[in-house]
Amino acid sequence: MLYDLFRVKELFQNKHLILGEGSNILFSGDYDGTVVRIMLKGIEVTGKKDGYVFIRVNAGEIWDHLVSFCVSQGWGGLENLSLIPGQVGSSPIQNIGAYGVELETLFVSLEAFDKLKGESVVFRHKDCQFGYRNSVFKGRSGGRYVITSVTLRLKEDPELNTSYGSVAEELKNMGISSPGIKDVREAVCRIRRSKLPDPEDLGNAGSFFKNPVVPLRKYNDLKSKHPDLVAYGAGNGMKLAAGWLIDKAGWKGYRHNDAGVHEKQALVLVNHGKASGKEILDLAGRIKDSVSRRFGVSLEPEVNII
């Protein structure tokens, strides 16, 4: 059992890394410690109320397998998050999101092992301090907890979200005028496959940078200089498309040795074969500096760097 494992004194006191699928991690060098991979499986319906179904999912489930299962059951909410790599246990850490939906809108609670106290604890929504690609688990206290399961709330009578990005356009291209959640999932999968490389074919960790959020004043200034700027509303500010910024700075398709930028999506850094983690990290730093000089916008990594 995982709880028994973390009661082993030697592991607790020494350097260790909790790993899911590793799809959102860049190793800048060799890891000098013990790596523990989470493999807890299982999906359980814990209740139904007011048109919602509540499911408890163990941390080792593959995220897209969960999405596929829920769509097949007719439960709405996760379809826009199709094909996001990784395991369920990582989803609250990153507050994963895509095409107008973020995990926190579906999140109820999670169970985690507190390595400091040696016991199981429960985090409700407010405890997680969710933000854009952020949560309490990415802060200083994040390494204290190992997420073991996540409870989500889905709709038995789904309400579709097709207004973000190119989902509606893709549905139109598919010849679908009255879509269901299976259609939305298929549209999202088609979009992602057309833009993002398969990690099994071309090494990558997905979107390398977060989409930066800037005040309206900064957005208006950029928009006046760059009318084709891609952005979306984000509270009192605007979320800029980091891929657009990187593309306009001239990096799309760039390659130096085996470290490069994907030719179809500038937000994705790729390893063409033998690039080291340090080479990928150096490239990311050069891109960040370039975007800052041209647009006065600071990019932050979405990938966890170890």
Catalytic machinery residues: 133, 207, 302
CA distance 43 to 58: 7
Type of residue numbered 193: R
CA distance 140 to 82: 30
Contact criterion met (CB below 8 Å) for 107 and 150: yes
Question: Taken in order 119, 123, 129, 132, is the CA torsion positive or negative?
Answer: positive
